């Protein structure tokens, strides 16, 4: 069985007291140890596990085992992964197994077998359908976030889409935040092949990320906006949620001053114009889009706005009607572009 050498790196004071104490007192020592290192808890766990055959029948054994596992909350030396995996395999007690899974979401996992084990366990739990354990799923998902293997991003995203409990969805979101650097790469593929709900969820995730990368977010917003505009060319429905997602993607590009997306943004302006004329986009938002075009300072931007101003002028001559706020937004934006 995997274990630690008790002759190397012994945290002598608390560990020596732990070894000499009664089983009942061992629980108190583990719970109340002041400033004890993670090595102390690892050595204590190894001691508890290796002496299973001698002390398992005592009432305090499982309390001691679970308490010690729960003290593993960071770091980790070589060998602790195998000890925890062996404990999970050797014990049927639900609380013990759950404590092991929770430990994998905190310690520095070094053994690749842990990732394979978590993926296998997650798949088995998912196959239980309505009998799925929320605690087990959450613990597995959080462990994957801690391990940070990018291979699981598609799996976590697919779980997030399922009709699971809020705790599971939140765990998926937090794990994807931890995997976000790799998730950006997967996001473009999901946008390309996914449903509208997939695209919406991708964009919301990226923007809710507390460690959001502005450049990567803008790249995804450009891909997303381009994708939605292409879909609009296939039909003229402009569902309300789609209009909102287009607008939010534009804001992301504007805030990032992402001039690489100028052509996509100008295509979006034409779509937004049609949405405004169909009363699907408010005047306030339409003016905001026009004024936001000053962040995409090119000759093409100036020409499109100048042509638009001419068309509005001709329309005014024909009908005698005009929208003052829209005209002012166009004129002000052209002025800003002229000064840039």
pLDDT tens string 233-265 = 555 456 889 999 999 999 999 999 999 999 999
Does residue 17 surpass a pLDDT of 60? yes
Answer for the pair 213, 184: CB distance below 8 angstroms, yes or no.
yes
State the pLDDT at residue 6: 45
Interatomic CA distance for residues 122 and 154, integer angstroms: 14
Interatomic CA distance for residues 199 and 163, integer angstroms: 17
Q: What is the mean pLDDT of residues 131-137?
A: 92
In the chain, what is the greatest distance between 2 CA atoms, to the nearest angstrom? Answer: 98
Lowest mean pLDDT among 22-26, 160-164, 166-170, 181-185: 181-185
Q: Quick one: what percent of the chain has pLDDT higher than 70?
A: 94
Does residue 29 surpass a pLDDT of 70? yes
State the pLDDT at residue 118: 97
Does residue 95 surpass a pLDDT of 60? yes
> Cβ contacts of residue 169 below 8 Å, gap of 6+?
160
Q: What is the mean pLDDT of residues 214-229?
A: 92
Element (H, E) at 140: helix 134-147
Answer for the pair 261, 222: CB distance below 8 angstroms, yes or no.
yes
The pTM is what?
Answer: 0.82
pLDDT single digits (tens) 170-191: 999 999 999 988 888 888 888 9
Lowest mean pLDDT among 2-6, 36-40, 234-238, 262-266: 2-6
In order of 35, 64, 103, 117, 135, the CA distances from 81 in angstroms are 23, 19, 10, 11, 21
pLDDT single digits (tens) 282-318: 999 999 999 999 999 999 999 999 999 999 999 899 9
Does residue 76 surpass a pLDDT of 80? no
Identify the CA nearest to 194 among candidates 221, 164, 239, 158.
158
pLDDT single digits (tens) 48-65: 999 999 999 998 999 999
> Cβ contacts of residue 121 below 8 Å, gap of 6+?
101, 136, 140
State the pLDDT at residue 13: 63
Q: What is the mean pLDDT of residues 92-99?
A: 96
Q: What is the mean pLDDT of residues 98-104?
A: 97
Lowest mean pLDDT among 3-12, 15-24, 33-42: 3-12
Rounded to the nearest 5 percent, the helix, strand and coil shares of the chain are 75, 0, 25
Mean pLDDT, all residues of the chain: 90
State the pLDDT at residue 11: 43
Q: What is the mean pLDDT of residues 189-204?
A: 90
State the pLDDT at residue 4: 46
In order of 21, 40, 46, 111, 252, the CA distances from 8 in angstroms are 21, 12, 13, 21, 55
State the pLDDT at residue 5: 44
> Cβ contacts of residue 277 below 8 Å, gap of 6+?
none
């Amino acid at each position: 069985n995997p274990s630690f050498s008790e002759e190397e790196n012994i945290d002598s004071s608390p560990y020596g007291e732990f070894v000499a104490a009664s089983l009942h007192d061992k629980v108190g020592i583990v719970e109340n140890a002041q400033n004890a290192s993670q090595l102390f808890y690892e050595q204590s766990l190894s001691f508890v596990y290796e002496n299973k055959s001698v002390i398992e029948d005592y009432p305090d054994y499982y309390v001691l085992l679970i308490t010690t596992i729960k003290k593993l909350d960071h770091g980790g030396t070589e060998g602790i992964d195998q000890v925890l995996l062996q404990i999970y395999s050797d014990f049927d007690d639900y609380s013990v197994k759950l404590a092991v899974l929770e430990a994998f979401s905190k310690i520095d996992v070094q053994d690749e077998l842990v990732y394979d084990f978590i993926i296998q366990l997650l798949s088995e739990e998912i196959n239980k359908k309505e009998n799925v354990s929320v605690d087990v799923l959450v613990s597995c998902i959080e462990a994957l976030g801690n391990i940070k293997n990018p291979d699981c991003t598609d799996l976590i995203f697919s779980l997030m889409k399922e009709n699971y409990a809020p705790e599971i969805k939140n765990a998926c979101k937090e794990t994807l935040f931890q995997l976000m650097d790799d998730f950006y790469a997967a996001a473009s593929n999901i946008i390309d092949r996914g449903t509208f709900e997939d695209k919406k969820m991708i964009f919301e995730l990226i923007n809710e990320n507390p460690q959001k990368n502005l450049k990567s977010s803008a790249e995804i917003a450009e891909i997303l906006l381009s994708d939605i505009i292409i879909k609009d060319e296939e039909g003229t429905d402009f569902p309300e949620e789609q209009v909102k997602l287009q607008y939010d993607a534009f804001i992301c590009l504007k805030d990032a001053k992402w001039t690489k997306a100028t052509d996509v943004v100008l295509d979006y302006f034409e779509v937004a114009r049609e949405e405004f004329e169909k009363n699907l986009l408010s005047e306030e938002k339409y003016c905001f889009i026009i004024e936001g075009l000053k962040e995409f300072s090119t000759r093409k931007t100036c020409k499109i706005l100048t042509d638009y101003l001419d068309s509005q002028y001709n329309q005014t001559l024909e009908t005698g009607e005009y929208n003052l706020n829209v005209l002012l937004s166009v004129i002000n934006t052209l002025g800003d572009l002229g000064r840039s």
